[in-house]
Amino acid sequence: MDWAKRVLRRDGVRRFLCWLVSLYIRLVRATGAWTVEGGSIPAALHAARRPFILAFWHGRLLMMPCAWQQQVPIHMLISGHRDGRIIADAVRHFGIDSIAGSTTAGGSAALRGMVRYLKAGECVGITPDGPDGPAMRASPGIVAVARLAGVSIVPLAYATRRRRILGTWDRFHLPLPFSRGAFIWDEPIEVPADLDDAGIERYRAHIEQRLNAITEEADRRVGRERVSPGTHSRQAMRRMQRQNGHG
């Protein structure tokens, strides 16, 4: 809605909204009964001083700050869209810095920034279906970053029993307070440096399959049905909403 866009352009309003989002994340975490599977995986990589790419779906972004060890530096790739700026400001309350851009459109500067941080020993978080989707469909950009930086990719997913799946392009998982929740870490995916185009596609598909598998398992652990991957991009969803009179 136009009025909402105008309001969110105001820095003070956006900062207040981001503060509220950070409080909501803390509320959901504090009031929930959470389990963590595979937490030893990132702990071992941290102990060995091996940076890695944290991979998770855009729709499962909200609670990711609660899965991260705050004393370990991480830079999260977040788009320049309006909602991306809100997310960037919200996660900053948890000590998470952001890299503006994407692994697709206009992503060369973001790519260089991610590789620079990884080679300096710091971790990077990427949503391989962002910023435009379709939901839960990985782009090859994450493979390129891992290959250039010489680091592994570690998939992560979460789910909560009490939730709302929003009608957004990313099928955003909005967790509700006082819920049962589960984080699941997967084994590192090692990406060879000498991949050809077929190899890049093979690893892209493998990352997508592993992320969807642990996301489905997280949903199952909390007694919820799986969320299917999307078929529409952000732009396609907006066109359909405008045609239906909702945008």
DSSP 187-204: --B---TT--HHHHHHHH
195 C-beta neighbours (distance < 10 Å), count: 17
Are 223 and 161 spatial neighbours (Cβ–Cβ below 8 Å)?
A: yes
pLDDT at 4: 46
Domain extents in the chain? 2-243
pLDDT at 106: 47
From residue 29, how far is each of 77, 92, 179 by CA, in Å? Answer: 23, 17, 9
For domain 2-243, the question of CATH label 3.40.50.850 is answered with no
**φ/ψ of residue 27, rounded to 5:** -65, -45
pLDDT for 13-43, tens place per residue? Answer: 778 888 999 999 999 999 999 999 999 999 9
Helices assigned H by DSSP within the chain: 2-8, 11-31, 40-47, 82-91, 108-119, 141-149, 197-221, 234-243
Q: What's the confidence (pLDDT) of residue 97?
A: 87
Torsion sign, CA atoms 206, 201, 188, 170: negative
pLDDT at 80: 59
Give me the residues of the chain with pLDDT under 70, please.
1-11, 79-85, 101-107, 237-238, 240-247
Report the number of secondary-structure helices (H) and strands (E) in the chain.
8, 9
Tell me what pLDDT residue 165 has.
95
